[in-house]
Amino acid sequence: MTEQWQPAASIGNLKRRAQLINNIRSFFAERGVMEVETPSISRYPTLDLHLESFGVNIDSDLPPRYLITSPEYHMKRLIAAGSGSIYQICKSFRCDEVGAHHNPEFTILEWYRVGWNHLQLMEEIEGLMMQIMGTGKATRTSYREIFRSLLQLDPLEFEHKEFKTLCQKLGAKPPQDLLSESASKDECLNYLMGSYIEPQLGRDNPVFVCDFPASQASLSRIHKTDPRLSTRFEVYYKGIELGNGFYELTDAGVQEKRFRETNTLREQMGKARLHPDRSFLAALEQGMPDCAGVAMGLDRMLMLAMGQDKIERVMSFTWNGS
């Protein structure tokens, strides 16, 4: 058998990719956002319920190191040190994520706007997508609104039996664990989002889904006026999630508490507890200015900009051919 050596993407697509990335750099240069580089290998793993960092073993006598799942912790340390608004285009790594729109090693476009909130940042994301991908005007909706309008379910107030009834109505076959009374409500919502909402979002133009439930706040701050909601948002285009952003949480105490809660949930799922990133927490402790940030899947953006349906069409080599 001959060894497969050819790239996954055509050379033409790679040329287009290079050109679009240049355009992105110009976009930020014109706006005075500084490009930065931060480590790919970190002393701490990402502490998230559903993200797994690759471990890197340098020497069995030394503590393990981890490939980043996003440059977030390091970039926030730069902001705490006074960098001002920054952006980065870098590789990120996530275990077990392989599919038409996933590759365990992928490229993130991540940026932070110091002194801005998430609403201002969404305007800029919309502008970037229009300029780089040629999209039209985006629409904005809320997490609650989209569930109510598309599935007639109130994500902030529902009983597990309503989820089961909805699944029956949809003819849905959710994973077994979600059928149990004790299933996590957030996972029920995640399942519905991934299966029945996301594919319908942004058919013509990008859609921002704002105000995710507080229980899914991740690293965003909670709404001042409604503690059931967070300032987390996601942006979708052509049925695909392209980015996730926050009006960033700056409170070290709250961040540490969220890490602890995540570890408790990880343990309940039979997953290993993880070390919180002490350097990141120390930076928040010292004080990080108010800012909004977003991470976008660059390969997916380029895939859609080039009218492709698999990210491998815009990546030189993929997981299975690396």
Partner 1 sequence: MYDTNEFRKGLKVEIDGHPYIMVEHQFVKPGKGQAFTRVKLKSLLSGNVIDRTYRSGEKLEKADITETEMQFLYMADNVYNFMDNSSYEQYELQEDQIGDAWKWLQENMNVEVVLYKGNAVSVTVPNFVVLEVEFCEPGLKGDTATNTTKPATLVTGAEVQVPLFVNQNEKIKVDTRTGVYVERVK
User: Which residues of the shown chain bind partner 1 in the complex (CB under 8 A)?
Assistant: 48-51, 96-102, 171, 173-177, 186-187, 189-191, 193-195, 198, 216, 218, 234, 241, 244
DSSP helix/strand/coil, 64: coil
CB of 101 to partner 1, least distance (A): 8
DSSP 192-236: HIIIIIGGGTTSSS-EEEE--BGGG-TTBPBPSS-TTBBS-EEEE
DSSP helix/strand/coil, 319: helix
Measured from the CB atom, the residue of 114 and 121 that comes closer to partner 1 is 121
Measured from the CB atom, the residue of 65 and 76 that comes closer to partner 1 is 76
Of the candidates 62, 117, 107, 101, the residue with the CA atom closest to the CA atom of residue 87: 107
* Spatial contact of 113 and 291, defined as CB atoms under 8 Å apart: yes
Measured from the CB atom, the residue of 80 and 235 that comes closer to partner 1 is 235
Measured from the CB atom, the residue of 63 and 175 that comes closer to partner 1 is 175
CB of 122 to partner 1, least distance (A): 16
CB of 199 to partner 1, least distance (A): 9
Dihedral over alpha carbons 118, 241, 200, 318 (to 10 degrees):
170
Q: How far apart (Å, rounded) are the C-alpha atoms in residues 28 and 158?
A: 42
CB of 22 to partner 1, least distance (A): 29
Relative orientation angle of helices 298-305 and 118-133, to the nearest 10 degrees = 40
Q: How far apart (Å, rounded) are the C-alpha atoms in residues 42 and 54?
A: 10
CB of 258 to partner 1, least distance (A): 12
CB of 309 to partner 1, least distance (A): 12
CB of 237 to partner 1, least distance (A): 14
**CB neighbourhood size of 181 (10 A):** 8
Measured from the CB atom, the residue of 58 and 100 that comes closer to partner 1 is 100
Measured from the CB atom, the residue of 70 and 85 that comes closer to partner 1 is 70
Q: How far apart (Å, rounded) are the C-alpha atoms in residues 22 and 16?
A: 10
Measured from the CB atom, the residue of 186 and 251 that comes closer to partner 1 is 186
**CB neighbourhood size of 171 (10 A):** 6
CB of 263 to partner 1, least distance (A): 16
* Spatial contact of 279 and 44, defined as CB atoms under 8 Å apart: yes
Measured from the CB atom, the residue of 78 and 197 that comes closer to partner 1 is 197
149-160: buried (b, 16+ CB within 10 Å) or exposed (e) per residue? eebebebbeeeb
DSSP helix/strand/coil, 110: strand
